[in-house]
Structure 1
Amino acid sequence: MSRADDPAADDPATDDPATAWRRLAALTPARIALGRAGSGLPTREVLRFGLAHAQARDAVHLPLEADEVRAGIAALGFETLPAASAAPDRTTYLRRPDLGRRLDEASTAALAAAAGDPVDLALVVADGLSARAVHEGAVPLLAALKGALAGSGWRLAPVVVATQARVALGDAVGALLEARAVAVLIGERPGLSSPDSLGIYLTFDPRPGRTDAERNCLSNVRAAGLKPDLAAFKLHWLIDQALTRRLTGVALKDESDRLLAGAGGSKPIVGASRPYPPPAAGDGSGARWNPEEI
């Protein structure tokens, strides 16, 4: 921010270090300029830290309300299917990440029975390490994505809502549903200022054994981070590129920023299978589509 853009820049009070730190602290959720009381932190900051830690811990242990999530997704017009990992409970899930990457026997049989003709895309909504993120973010993200999916011509599998799940569970789901690509919407590991962060992992040709290097990730999807409508726009671009170029991961770079509306409008990216006008300003969460927001 330049001095010309900042009305307080010429205020003599801004020369005071405490005032300057307060102004900087207002621009970020990071814990800066906390102050001190003797050799320790002020009581208010100790309490704020304790609250943030409790919220992060609660997010990890909060069970997913899978039926409510499925109902919200169904209300958008998507078919849904339930699934569960091989981890029988939350304690086991946290101690045995490997079990969270595999479907249990009942889910494997149910998804195999539900599979029909091959599809282009399977969507998996998974609790991960923050069911709160799914409760708050999954339906808004799918609502923002729905229109783009409807106009894409892609064949979609029912949305799978999975419990006690890790990212790699999507590989098994995608393989059983014969999907060309799978996108896993999953609760991320909570931070001390972000217990509600949703992550999206896209994998082309999903099958057990895929590595994280073969996935694309969109992170920090939440009201205070990457807003749902912008995340949906970027995800749609990545899915199209994945299906067109038959790859994901380190070989596929997210260049969707080049399509965001600026002063000169948008241009289709070279190699895209179709022009991608970005969502109009004010769509979805009301975010303005500007490259500086990314």
Structure 2
Amino acid sequence: MEEDYWQELRNFTHARIAMGRAGNAMPTSEILSLRMAHALARDAVQAEIKADWLNEKLFQLGLNVQRVKSQAQDRVDYIRNPNKGRLLHGQSRQQLESLRTDKTDLCIIFADGLSADAVNIHAIPFIELLLKELAYWNIAPIILAEQGRVGLSDPIGEALNAQISLILLGERPGLSAPTSLGAYITYMPRSGNTDEKRNCVSNIQPAGLSYQQAVYKISYLLHEIRSQQLSGVQLKDNQRNDLL
């Protein structure tokens, strides 16, 4: 009997490979698994950030927390009008501008994105590790943003006069990763920035890029961005990937 190498590969990935066949279709177990994964992805998009719980946990870590909103009125508005999730609500802008200082190295933002549970699950263990690598940085209050997309980091960083913004939010859920966290870093966050100015570290979760690996990569990028005073496509990543 010919050896089935595909079955061995399944031990190394959550991707849907080597699912087998039942006649001309997939086995019933695989069909049910696919339907469950699809349901989990749909639920992830509708999930809400546990702002009160996260606020309390961050406070217990000794962190100052500010809660803000985008211009999206609710989840339906957020999904139907993507640009509203990139724009800061007027009252939230005034709130943050009152906290401006002459020198802020970094602002760290948690936003729901397209999978709020990714933030609910990963935010606290991740931030505990990251802050150990940023002991000598002047960091603005931690921001919890509701109905936020990646671009929301620009008006937030601008309002806080931050040199660098780091936003962590739930990525678009896939059929094998409904609660994956993504990180986007921008030098000189300003309204009107486009995505080529950002560096991305994605798939932060125990089944993907571990917290330790993600912190190692993000810490490296943050130090390089501050040193070279640029980010995005202009920044060359020379870090040894074998150390991850």
The interval holding the TM-score normalised by the smaller chain is: over 0.9
User: How far 1:112 moved relative to its partner?
Assistant: 1.3
Partner of 1:161: 144
Identity of aligned residues (%): 42
Which one of the candidate residues 169, 179, 196 is aligned to 1:186? 169
Cα separation, 2, equivalents of 1:120 and 1:97 = 29
Is 1:118–1:177's contact at 8 Å kept on the other side of the alignment? Answer: no
CA distance in 2, matches of 1:27, 1:89: 39
Counterparts of 1:86-101 in structure 2, within 5 Å, are 86-101=71-86
Pick which of 31-40 and 44-53 moved more: 31-40
Letter in 1 for 2:207: A
Displacement of 1:70 after TM fit? 1.8
Match of 2:11 among 19, 26, 38: 26
Please, which of 22, 47, 57 is the counterpart of residue 42 of structure 2?
A: 57
Match of 2:2 in 1: 16
**How high is the TM-score relative to the length of structure 2?**
0.96
Whether 1:172 aligns to 2:158 is no
Q: TM-score, normalised by structure 1?
A: 0.80
Q: Secondary structure at the match of 1:26?
A: helix
Task: Note the C-alpha offset of 1:105.
Answer: 1.5
CA deviation profile, 1:182-205 (whole Å, cap 9, x unmatched): 000111000100011100000000
Higher relative contact order (CA closer than 8 Å, sequence separation 6+): 2
Count of residue pairs the alignment pairs up: 244
Deviation >3 Å, runs of 4+: none
User: Hey, what does 1:230 align to over in structure 2?
Assistant: 213
* Corresponding residue SS for 1:114: coil
Instruction: Tell me the secondary structure at the aligned position of residue 144 of structure 2.
Output: strand
Distance 1:249 1:143 in 2: 25
CA deviation string 1:199-254 (max 9, x = no partner):
00000000001111000000000011111111111111111111111000001122
Q: What secondary structure sits across from 2:202 in the alignment?
A: strand
Give the distance between the partners of 1:234 and 1:79, measured in 2 at CA. Answer: 25
Tell me the secondary structure at the aligned position of residue 256 of structure 1.
coil
Kindly report the root-mean-square deviation, in angstroms, between the aligned alpha carbons of the 2 structures.
1.3
Inter-partner Cα distance in structure 2 for 1:83 and 1:167: 14
Which amino acid in structure 2 is aligned with residue 89 of structure 1? Answer: D
